[in-house]
Each structure stands twice: as C-alpha cells, then as structure tokens.
Amino acid sequence: MTRKFFGTDGVRGRVGEHPMTVDFALQLASAAGRVLAPEGGTVLIGKDTRVSGYMFESALEAGFVAAGVNVMLIGPLPTPGIAYMTRRFECDLGVVISASHNPYDDNGIKFFDGSGGKLSDELEARIETELDHPVLTRSSRSLGRAMRVDRSRNHYQDFCASTLPEGVDLSGLKIVIDCSNGAAYKVGPRILADLGAEIVPIGCSPNGRNINDGCGSLHPELLQLTVPGVRAHVGLALDGDGDRVVMVDHLGRVVDGDQLLYVIAQARKQAGALKGPVVGTVMSNLGLEVALRESGIDFRRASVGDRYVLSLLRETEGMLGGETSGHILCLDKTTTGDGLVSALQVLAILRQTGRSLAELAAPMRKFPQVLLNVKVAERFDPSTVPAVQSAVRRIEQRLGDQGRVVLRPSGTEPVIRVMVEGRDESATRAAAAELAEAVRTAS
C-alpha cells in the first residue's frame, strides 16, 4: 500500500499549501479517528511553538471531536513528551503538530499509537484511504469532548529526571541549554535546574516565528561561543520539537549524534548493560563504526530515518541506536528518540566518571564526510541510472576500504543526497563533487 501524504515522519509541508491547510488537517483528524479510534476513545494533541500551530490544533480538535473522539490539548511539549504522555494517559493515539527542525513557515502532523510508538506504514496507508470519504460529524450524543491538560507536562519532566541512574544528579555542572525557541523551551531548562545544574538558557524565547532560526541543533554556533564564554562544563542544543540533541564540549567544539552514541555505548558496555548491536544509519560516520569495532561492540546500519533504526533495533534486540543529526534511541529508557533523555544519559556519564565530554568523545575519530544536496527536476532513484552507477563504482574503487559512498533521494523534496566519506579530506571533497556532477547531468 503506497502512501501519498505520509513521508518518513508524518505529513509535512509549507503552511498554506496542500496538504498543510486547515481543510486537510480537519480531514486528516476525521480519517485518523475512524481508523485508530473507531469506537470513540481519546487523543492527546501537542505542538511546538510555530504560529501556525494554533490553527492546526483547532482544526484537528474539531475533526476528532466530530468523529466522536475525546481530545486532550497539552500545548507546547517535545515530540517524545507527547509519546510518553500518550502512554501515561492511556490514550488511543497521540498527535504532534510540528515540522521538527524546519523553518517556521513549514509545519507537520505526526501520529503515535497508544503505546507511544510511530504508526506502521500500513496504518498510515489506511488513514490515507479514509481521506477519500467526507468528514464525519456524529450526532450530538456521540460527539467527543475537549479539555486542556497543560499542567500535566510536569509528568514528562519527572519522567526525564527518572532516567538518570539512582543517586546521580547534575549538581556541580554548569550547562548552557539551547532549546531552538521550540517545544522544549519550558521543560528543558526546568529539568536541568531541578536536577541541581547551574543553567544558562538560550533559544528559550519563542515568538511563533523564530523556531530553529539561527539556533538549536542545526545552528549551534551561538552555543559554541556561549559555552566557553561563560565557562560552562558543557552545552546542549535541541531541535524545534526536542527529539534531537547535539552537544558542545567546554572548548566550544560540537559533539554530534554519532559521537554521543559512541559515548553512551561505551558507558553501557563498561557497566555491563549494553544489549544487542548499536544501530546507526547508512549516513553514520565511518569513524563510529571503527571506534565501536575496536571496543568489541557490534554495529549495524539501517536506512535513514529513526523509524528504520527502531525497526532494526527491535529485529536485533538492540537497545541503542541513532543518527548523526542527534536523533538517539535509548530503548532501555524510552520508546522513541528524545533529545532531553539522550542528553541526560551523557550528563550522567560526565558526573559518574568525572571526565569532560571532550575526553569521553576523543577515542572516536570522525572520518571526513562530505554531504551535497543536488537539486533535480524530479526525484529519481540514482541506483537505476547507469551513468551515475558508473561514477559510484569508479569512486569506490579509488577509496577502497578507507571510505564509503551513499546516494539517496530525499523523501520530502526533489533532491538527491550525495555522501562521500574517506580518510583524506581533499580527496573526499573531490570525489563528492565528481559524483554530484554525475547526478546533476543525469537529471
């Protein structure tokens, strides 16, 4: 069953352009209600700080209530917080209104099932099939009810704090936290402060339009300046919906998702608590694979997207995986990628070992990695184009076992992503440019 509107992470697009319109949101809620709560039930709806979130929240509320589904509105809360609260409230489903790390003029709608997990491809396809039917409005006796549960976000804060080892807090640590003017702007600083850390908040003043704007995990430059500037021990930067985190060491150097995954994996192994392989993606740095192998830790690669990392973790009975972007899955702590929970695992390691983040991440040496986004007239599968494949083989022969080549079409835009990795940076850049030109010519 193919999906027309659902991408790798829900429905997403430019606000005001189909499908990110009020009409579509109303239809989507009605369709999701019929599929996921056909006998009524309850949905939890949360959002990030985009100005468009208000109208989509209202449209979804109307669609669900009309379909006979009760609605709980929790307001701005990180995506993983919605997943957790969906389970805690025993809801039939959860909905997040967010476009994650994208600019404010984009937005998106994604769903969790009652267990806090992402919907299967089959369920998303069934919802799309229901979009062909008119919006359902039940009789007055069968309508759902709506209520606000904003204050219950304290439960999520308590949950995050509970993922620290017993007896460990953050006292003695000075931490800069950048919440990207997004969904974690309230709960993020509160969690760290309640655990005893001295905090310096930045990117915590949302105005509806400044989410991800020069801040957060995609733009950590201000964090890099602030951490050494205020003599903090460490900094952490979340993305707009709080499911990603990158960190900055005391010297102002970025520690990305691959390095954080290495730090957590090493600590879990040394504690005898690591189960199964560590799972990355085809885009994970080769340096991560090498460093884990040298530590005797099995490493597997999944397709890009946290849902595929999660699928491979379940298949291999693993507990730890993630992406370079900082979307890290600690399945021994929670069900989905959670930037705050992931950061707390690293901060706990700092407290337990007394070592700096720079020391902990040092054994993993990143290979130079060049990623180019090649715009094309229409999306296509580069593996089916002989000229592109010829260029790939030529470059792979030059790199040998000291590098990798990955080509993949974007799931959301007409772009082919070209990634080349190798030990020598100049040679790697030249190879990436050569391959990008081959893709551009083929389009």
SS (H, E, C) 168-233: CCCCCCEEEEECCCCCCCCHHHHHHHHCCCEEEEECCCCCCCCCCCCCCCCCCHHHHHHHHHCCCC
| 248 and 352 assigned to the same domain | yes
- In a domain, residue 156? The reply is no
* Domain finish residue from 361, 390, 422: 361
- In a domain, residue 157? The reply is no
pLDDT in tens, 117-141: 889 889 999 999 999 999 999 999 9
| 18 and 75 assigned to the same domain | yes
For residue 96, the SS3 value is strand
Q: Is the confidence at residue 1, as pLDDT, over 60? A: no
pLDDT in tens, 372-418: 999 988 878 888 999 999 999 999 999 887 889 999 888 767 899 99
- In a domain, residue 6? The reply is no
* Domain finish residue from 335, 361, 387: 361
| 47 and 99 assigned to the same domain | yes
pLDDT in tens, 194-218: 999 999 999 999 999 999 999 999 9
- In a domain, residue 3? The reply is no
* Domain finish residue from 123, 150, 177: 150
Please report the pLDDT score of residue 2 as a whole number: 60
| 248 and 200 assigned to the same domain | yes
Please report the pLDDT score of residue 401 as a whole number: 79
Cα within 13 Å of Cα(64), Cβ side: 27
Q: Which pTM does this prediction carry? A: 0.90
- In a domain, residue 96? The reply is yes
| 331 and 272 assigned to the same domain | yes
pLDDT in tens, 22-44: 999 999 999 999 999 999 999 99
**pLDDT category of residue 8 using cuts at 50, 70 and 90:** confident
Other residues' Cβ atoms within 10 Å of the Cβ of residue 363: 14
pLDDT in tens, 50-60: 999 999 999 99
Closest CA to 324 of 372, 289, 277: 289
Residue 75 belongs to domain with CATH number: 3.40.120.10
Please report the pLDDT score of residue 402 as a whole number: 82
pLDDT in tens, 244-291: 999 999 999 999 999 999 999 999 999 999 999 999 999 899 999 999
pLDDT in tens, 150-166: 999 999 999 999 999 99
| 55 and 175 assigned to the same domain | no
- In a domain, residue 2? The reply is no
Task: Residue 33: give the domain boundaries.
Answer: 11-150
Please report the pLDDT score of residue 378 as a whole number: 81
- The mean pLDDT value of the chain amounts to 95
Residue 395 belongs to domain with CATH number: 3.30.310.50
For residue 37, the SS3 value is coil
**pLDDT category of residue 71 using cuts at 50, 70 and 90:** very high
- In a domain, residue 1? The reply is no
Residues in Cβ contact with 340 at an 8 Å cutoff, skipping those fewer than 6 apart: 78, 80, 160, 184, 187, 188, 191, 238, 242, 245
* Active site (annotated) includes residue 426: no
Catalytic residue among 100, 180, 284, 325: 100
Please report the pLDDT score of residue 412 as a whole number: 67
